[in-house]
Amino acid sequence: MTPTLPPQKSFGLSFEFFPPRSADMEGQLWDAVLDLGAWNPDFVSVTYGAGGSTKAPTLSVVRRLIRETALSTAAHLTCVDASRDETRSVVEEFRAAGVRRIVALRGDPASGVGTEYRPHADGYANAADLVAGLREIGNFDISVSAYPEKHPESADLAFDIEMLKRKADAGAARALTQFFFDNDVYERYLEKVRAAGIDMPIVPGIMPIQNLTQLKRFAGRCGASVPTFLDSRFEGYDDKPEDRAKVAADVAAEQIDDLLNLGVTDFHIYTMNRSGLVNQVLEQLGRARRAQADAAA
């Protein structure tokens, strides 16, 4: 008997990866790239460390993605601890590698999240200035960040949204949000963004929960909240990895489904360089998948 599949849902999709820090992690990354490429993402992105601390690994991953896959690839770029000339040099390296998409970020201070950010004396002051600089360098498709619960360093949400408007006015094509788990938070944020005259897409960032305890620590540094209902959803599954993964997939799929019903059309998934949980989420949503051999073409 043929199993009944959920109805196919069509939506825009992008995945975020990070440069591997070991040989084992490198294998994990490329396994995830091959597997997740079958979901036909609009693009994938590769993160970039503060002050260019992962410039070489990021460039290596980007080059291989462009060389060996058909995936449209975006390179993250920050302006922390870099002059304009140094930043332009990195951009030219990306462009020579075939990069036409950039995720432009101010970046966290090299001294760590929570420490004071000090712009380079000869560099871009913030992400809006970086977007404007990229527009002068070339015709890139530029994504930026957005924070439904405000950036940890912003005085308030109004200031944060004003910075988002500056990024949009400078030429950003879309904003990818910090992850969140309460869709009401996103709805309220979107209302304020539109009221501020910002009409570019605000793409929800979705974080499938690999480990709730670790997520809470990470969220605390990012200024993102973790609703208490998640504790109840995951209670009793600490020693049951398969059941825990099923709950995690349910949580993410339910969040995306609710946002689809609210009219959202695009999603950015933080993969953590792992494909299994992301696959479960997209399977539950009924998204069409290519054969793996075709995905790498």
**CA–CA distance, 35 with 44 (Å, rounded to integer):** 13
Looking at residue 53, what DSSP letter applies? T
**CA–CA distance, 176 with 182 (Å, rounded to integer):** 16
**CA–CA distance, 53 with 49 (Å, rounded to integer):** 5
DSSP 153-187: TSSSHHHHHHHHHHHHHHT--EEEEEE-S-HHHHH
**CA–CA distance, 16 with 2 (Å, rounded to integer):** 34
**CA–CA distance, 261 with 162 (Å, rounded to integer):** 28
- Distance spanning both ends of the chain, measured CA to CA: 32
68: annotated active-site residue? no
Catalytic one of 16, 136, 191, 242: 16
Which of 37, 31, 32, 47 is closest to 14 using CA atoms?
37
Q: Which two tokens stand for residue 165?
A: 């408007």
Q: Which two tokens stand for residue 11?
A: 């939506």
Q: Which residues are catalytic?
A: 16
